[in-house]
């Protein structure tokens, strides 16, 4: 057996001793009394009795040895800004932000919602929350009022942080009007809204509620705010993610387990070393951004790049120019971004000195072989696929080159990461599939390792019901992904088992989009499915039934309606969720018991066999969809 399989086996069979060792990579105010309390499955309490602080481990502990080293490098090709904060400077900014939050009445355990573009202040806000034991909830800036309102409602934040605007491709994207609308829609109202004014857009100010970061920062310029020592099990943040139902779930993360998991992942998975530079191109609104733009690299004593802008502006070489300039050693992106770059001049890949770069990590969606080959040949560097979820906070499947150099296989994210007891289960019987190449649900035996979700915010029942009861006869965590494993232990991910789709690496629930479209007064009923797309991996495709069936014969009216419906989605969920097309039919394919046959619709859209349709109520429904697809392919 190799070093990695030993390592993995120990993490499962000698779990507590293994994680006790990993826990030494972080600083504790009080050492844990117990490594894992799993007396009440599936709720795991990692490092019970221990006290630590995420911000202390990300910043303060490095001040002695690397206070003058770059911690955060903010680069915006949208506003032409580039600023480096050393660990000392980051420490000062975060204390100013922490003092400002305290002055607004934020206390340990209070929620703070962050709805911000990719600017340095967003990272100060996250770290400041961690510093004072407040629970942050970052909402992706691409979400619109409806999505934001449901998150405000669920998280009930005392304070919301936002900004006048972001910028995308040189176009100003205002945040404040969307935020004001979301607060209006939500029954929960924050006490204060703390605003960063970037001078990009004028803001309407609500007196008594809205305050400017610039004035509070001035006031708290020299404040010292010590880290609040919190229990290892104290929630550090919630992050909302889509599932089968329309209501997004607040994934709740702890403090001790998350800090340990990230600390150990930096050398073991990413081969990152203190003093080196990590460049993760994700967004702070996603889990990858939390773990590998902000917390992971800083915990690991690295410099981290926070990038606002497109991968193609001013040209498709911008990311590689940053690799050269900041001597990036570890880079992390998503397949969809590489597919965008693939359309650019390939010479841009060899224009810059990339000798510092050790590997490019890709995650968030399936990595197709042509894309993997193109980028691997273009860069001449290892490309490392890794598979995980908002829920887990760090990779479930990959190759851990920091432990043992391991071959990557195209199409496979790799093997089960240490700490994860990954199994493939038969979805009908719950039985474990032990033969190579058998297709099953990717499941994880409890306890989930440190760093994974503790529960669903405010809803333990939903946590248990959603994740732990879907495989018959077993309490085991379901990832809701299909997978197979080959004879060497490499997994291959084959897509979701539920109604979640993945558009350009963004996870979206088709139900959320359906609910939003149903908000249009002309729509009687709608089905949304994910359809394979060369650039984005998948796109959402909507099929709607109109209240007024006569409109089906009026192509002009349908075109207008399609535009209106897309606007409805833009306004409620955001452009990320906008369907590629909205098509109109007189009836949707359903079973006799009234269940929408989304999978059959998806198959027809992708030109596949829709499978067994014996339970379908009205066979003409699917034919209408097939005709529309055929007509658009002509």
Residues that bind ligand AMP (CB under 6 A): 241, 287, 363-367, 385-390, 413, 479, 481, 493, 496, 502, 507
C-alpha–C-alpha distance, residues 311 and 385, integer Å: 19
Tokens linked to 341? 């770059």
As measured in angstroms, the least distance from the Cβ of 563 to ligand AMP is 28
For ligand AMP, the closer of residues 333 and 624 by Cβ is 333
For ligand AMP, the closer of residues 310 and 494 by Cβ is 494
C-alpha–C-alpha distance, residues 441 and 478, integer Å: 7
Q: Are 558 and 552 in contact (CB under 8 A)?
A: yes
For ligand AMP, the closer of residues 270 and 326 by Cβ is 270
Q: Are 452 and 395 in contact (CB under 8 A)?
A: no
Q: Are 233 and 45 in contact (CB under 8 A)?
A: yes
For ligand AMP, the closer of residues 164 and 365 by Cβ is 365
As measured in angstroms, the least distance from the Cβ of 393 to ligand AMP is 10
Of 242, 312, 353, the closest CA to residue 577 belongs to: 242
Classify residue 135 by its DSSP letter: E
Q: Are 258 and 236 in contact (CB under 8 A)?
A: yes
Of 531, 528, 530, the closest CA to residue 545 belongs to: 528
As measured in angstroms, the least distance from the Cβ of 15 to ligand AMP is 24
Of 223, 52, 62, 209, the closest CA to residue 133 belongs to: 52
Annotate 398-434 with b (16+ C-beta within 10 A) or e (fewer): bbbbbbeebebbeebbbbbbbbbbbbbbebeebbebe
For ligand AMP, the closer of residues 93 and 481 by Cβ is 481
As measured in angstroms, the least distance from the Cβ of 376 to ligand AMP is 15
C-alpha–C-alpha distance, residues 408 and 491, integer Å: 11
Classify residue 291 by its DSSP letter: I
C-alpha–C-alpha distance, residues 153 and 147, integer Å: 10
For ligand AMP, the closer of residues 238 and 241 by Cβ is 241
As measured in angstroms, the least distance from the Cβ of 390 to ligand AMP is 3
C-alpha–C-alpha distance, residues 343 and 337, integer Å: 10
For ligand AMP, the closer of residues 232 and 476 by Cβ is 476
As measured in angstroms, the least distance from the Cβ of 327 to ligand AMP is 27
Q: Are 506 and 512 in contact (CB under 8 A)?
A: no
For ligand AMP, the closer of residues 62 and 290 by Cβ is 290
As measured in angstroms, the least distance from the Cβ of 397 to ligand AMP is 7
Q: Are 161 and 194 in contact (CB under 8 A)?
A: yes
C-alpha–C-alpha distance, residues 514 and 511, integer Å: 5
C-alpha–C-alpha distance, residues 304 and 286, integer Å: 16
For ligand AMP, the closer of residues 76 and 538 by Cβ is 538
As measured in angstroms, the least distance from the Cβ of 388 to ligand AMP is 6
Q: Are 424 and 483 in contact (CB under 8 A)?
A: yes
C-alpha–C-alpha distance, residues 536 and 156, integer Å: 33
As measured in angstroms, the least distance from the Cβ of 491 to ligand AMP is 9
As measured in angstroms, the least distance from the Cβ of 385 to ligand AMP is 5
For ligand AMP, the closer of residues 296 and 317 by Cβ is 296
For ligand AMP, the closer of residues 71 and 397 by Cβ is 397
C-alpha–C-alpha distance, residues 615 and 595, integer Å: 10
Q: Are 27 and 58 in contact (CB under 8 A)?
A: no
C-alpha–C-alpha distance, residues 178 and 162, integer Å: 10
As measured in angstroms, the least distance from the Cβ of 101 to ligand AMP is 28
For ligand AMP, the closer of residues 249 and 520 by Cβ is 249
C-alpha–C-alpha distance, residues 257 and 6, integer Å: 22
As measured in angstroms, the least distance from the Cβ of 417 to ligand AMP is 12
For ligand AMP, the closer of residues 413 and 574 by Cβ is 413
Distances in Å between the Cα of 292 and the Cα atoms of 116, 284, 300, 577 are 18, 9, 10, 24
Q: Are 239 and 253 in contact (CB under 8 A)?
A: yes
Residue 148 has φ and ψ, to the nearest 5°, of -65, -40
As measured in angstroms, the least distance from the Cβ of 513 to ligand AMP is 15
For ligand AMP, the closer of residues 269 and 582 by Cβ is 269
**Non-local CB neighbours of 560 within 8 Å, separated by 6+ positions:** none
As measured in angstroms, the least distance from the Cβ of 566 to ligand AMP is 23
Of 592, 594, 596, 588, the closest CA to residue 615 belongs to: 592
Sheet holding 523-533, edge to edge: 523-533, 537-546, 581-585
As measured in angstroms, the least distance from the Cβ of 114 to ligand AMP is 18
For ligand AMP, the closer of residues 7 and 387 by Cβ is 387
Q: Give the residues across from 542 on adjacent strands.
A: 528, 582
């Amino acid at each position: 057996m190799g070093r990695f399989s030993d390592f993995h086996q120990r993490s499962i069979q000698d779990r507590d001793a293994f994680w006790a060792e990993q826990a030494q990579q972080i600083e504790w105010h009080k050492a844990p009394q117990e490594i894992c309390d799993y007396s009440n499955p599936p709720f795991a309490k990692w490092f019970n009795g221990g006290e630590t602080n995420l911000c202390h481990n990300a910043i303060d502990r490095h001040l002695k040895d690397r206070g003058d080293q770059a911690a955060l490098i903010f680069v915006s090709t949208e506003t032409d800004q580039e600023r480096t904060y050393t660990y000392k400077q980051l420490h000062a900014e975060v204390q100013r932000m922490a003092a400002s939050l305290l002055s607004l009445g934020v206390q340990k355990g209070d929620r703070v919602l962050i709805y911000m573009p990719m600017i340095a202040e967003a990272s100060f806000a996250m770290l400041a929350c961690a510093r004072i034991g407040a629970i942050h909830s970052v909402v992706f800036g691409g979400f619109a009022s409806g999505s934001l309102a449901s998150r405000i409602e669920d998280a009930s934040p005392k304070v919301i942080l936002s900004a006048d605007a972001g910028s995308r491709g040189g176009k100003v994207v205002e945040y404040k009007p969307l935020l004001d609308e979301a607060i209006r829609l939500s029954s929960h109202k924050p006490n204060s809204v703390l605003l960063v004014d970037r001078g990009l857009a004028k803001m309407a100010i609500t007196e008594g509620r809205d305050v400017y970061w610039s004035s509070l920062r001035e006031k708290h310029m020299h404040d010292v705010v010590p880290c609040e020592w919190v229990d290892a099990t104290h929630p550090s943040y919630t992050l909302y993610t889509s599932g089968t139902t329309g209501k997004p779930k607040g994934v709740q993360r702890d403090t001790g387990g998350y800090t340990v998991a990230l600390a150990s992942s930096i050398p073991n998975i990413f081969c990152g070393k203190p003093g080196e530079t990590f460049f993760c191109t994700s967004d702070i609104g996603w889990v990858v951004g939390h773990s590998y733009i902000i917390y992971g690299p800083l915990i690991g004593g690295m410099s981290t790049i926070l990038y606002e802008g497109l991968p193609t502006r001013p040209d498709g070489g911008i990311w590689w120019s940053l690799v050269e300039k900041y001597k990036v050693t570890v880079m992390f992106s998503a397949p969809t971004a590489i597919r965008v770059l693939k359309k650019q001049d390939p010479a841009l890949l060899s224009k810059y000195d990339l000798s510092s770069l050790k590997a490019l990590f890709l995650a968030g969606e399936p990595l197709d072989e042509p894309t993997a080959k193109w980028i691997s040949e273009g860069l001449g560097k290892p490309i490392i696929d890794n598979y995980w979820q908002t829920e887990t906070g760090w990779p479930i499947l990959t190759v851990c080159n920091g432990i043992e150099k391991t071959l990557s296989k195209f199409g496979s994210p790799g093997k089960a990461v240490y700490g994860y007891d990954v199994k493939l289960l038969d979805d009908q019987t719950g039985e474990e599939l032990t033969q190579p190449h058998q297709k099953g649900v990717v499941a994880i035996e409890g306890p989930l390792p440190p760093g994974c979700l503790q529960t669903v915010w405010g809803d333990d029942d939903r946590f248990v019901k959603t994740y732990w009861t879907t495989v018959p006869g077993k309490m085991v965590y379901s990832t809701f992904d299909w997978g197979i494993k080959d004879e060497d232990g490499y997994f291959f991910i084959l897509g979701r088992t539920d109604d979640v789709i993945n558009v350009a690496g963004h996870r979206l629930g088709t139900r959320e989009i359906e609910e939003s479209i149903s908000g249009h007064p002309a729509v009687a009923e709608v089905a949304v499915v994910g359809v394979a797309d060369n650039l984005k991996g998948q796109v959402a495709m909507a099929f709607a039934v109109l209240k007024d069936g006569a409109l089906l014969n009026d192509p002009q009216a349908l075109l207008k309606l399609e535009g209106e419906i897309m606007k409805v989605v833009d306004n409620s969920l955001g452009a990320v969720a906008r369907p590629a097309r909205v098509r109109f039919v007189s009836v949707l394919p359903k079973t006799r018991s009234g269940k929408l046959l989304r999978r059959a619709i998806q198959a027809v859209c992708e030109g596949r066999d829709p499978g067994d349709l014996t339970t379908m109520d009205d066979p003409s429904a699917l034919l209408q969809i097939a005709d529309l697809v055929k007509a658009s392919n002509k």
